[in-house]
Amino acid sequence: MGKRERLDLDILPDLPQSQFLKHVAQTLWARDDVIAIWVGGSLATGEADPYSDVDLFIAVTPEALSEWLEPNWDALFDGRCLASGFSRFGERFYVHHLLLDTGDIYDLHIQPADVRFSPEPRLILGCRDQELRDILAQAEREELPLAWPARAWIVQELLESYWLNAHKHRKVLARGLDLLILTGLQYAHSLMLRLYYILATGDDCGDLRRGTIHTLTPIVRTLQDAFGDRILQAIGQPLRSRAEICEAIEILNEEAGRVGRELARRYEFEYPAELESLVTRYWEQFKREVEL
């Protein structure tokens, strides 16, 4: 299609974000180097609400890509951009993170028109090239697996990783690095959520620390439907003092042992009971030594 093709803005959902988004899309479309514009994320899946971020994608001519390293935000967003951040993935894929005075957050994804496009839901607002439009539409129909069947050896490794990480808590506290315990517990929480998901579905959702709000939403909903507030009771304990930190660690360890043994029975592998026993023994010894 030629450059005079009009944008299809009527496909955008009826949400507050869409009004200004239409204006931004038209401003971008006025540039000759913009070959295609589409929307992804929750706006494309139909799950958006008034609090959703705007995932806006553009494909540009390869020779113009470098010009999008530092765009003129005042011109593109009518001076409404209050703050911006930048992420670069390789040499040919940029993401600008923008906060507008409307309170909306935009993630503006920029890539050349000659790269391979990942499979994901998208609303194509405009595309000047029919071949590229067909590629985008085909990629939209492809499906990325949310999860895959869990394997016994991976579940066993996850449990071993949990207990090895748990053994480090005493080192952090002994050195007076109490705030650093948050990092160790964050890793433990991600492992536990993954184990809970395997327990609920029989599928492995992978490392949740790499997820986004869009990819994590169906996983979290599955966990909440399966376990209610039980997970929050295990991983949501307060950490306002050393006493609360110790209690949170022990509650989480107890739950890891319970979930781990259930998974070991289901997948017929040997639960790392000796490792758990060693970690627990040294933890109790540490508490006596420092009078926790």
* Side chain identity, residue 260: G
Nearest 10 degrees: Cα torsion 204, 209, 210, 214: 80
Query: pLDDT value at position 2?
Result: 44
Query: pLDDT value at position 116?
Result: 83
Q: Are 254 and 271 in contact (CB under 8 A)?
A: no
| Measured distance CA(187)–CA(133) in Å, rounded | 41
Query: pLDDT value at position 276?
Result: 96
Q: What is the number of other CB atoms lying within 10 angstroms of the CB of residue 272?
A: 20
Predicted structure pTM score: 0.72
Q: What values do phi and psi take at 168, rounded to 5?
A: -85, -15
Instruction: Using 70 as the pLDDT threshold, list the residues of the chain that sit under it.
Output: 1-4, 141-145
Distance of CA 221 to the CA centre of its chain: 14
Query: pLDDT value at position 118?
Result: 78
Q: Where are the domains of the chain?
A: 9-141, 148-290
Query: pLDDT value at position 61?
Result: 96
Query: pLDDT value at position 144?
Result: 59
| 184, two tokens | 């160790």
Query: pLDDT value at position 3?
Result: 47
Level-2 CATH architecture, domain 9-141: 2-Layer Sandwich (3.30)
Query: pLDDT value at position 138?
Result: 85
Residue with tokens 């139909």: 46
Query: pLDDT value at position 110?
Result: 96
Query: pLDDT value at position 98?
Result: 94
| Measured distance CA(4)–CA(251) in Å, rounded | 63
* Strand runs labelled E in the chain: 34-40, 54-60, 81-88, 94-100, 105-112, 123-127, 148-149, 203-204
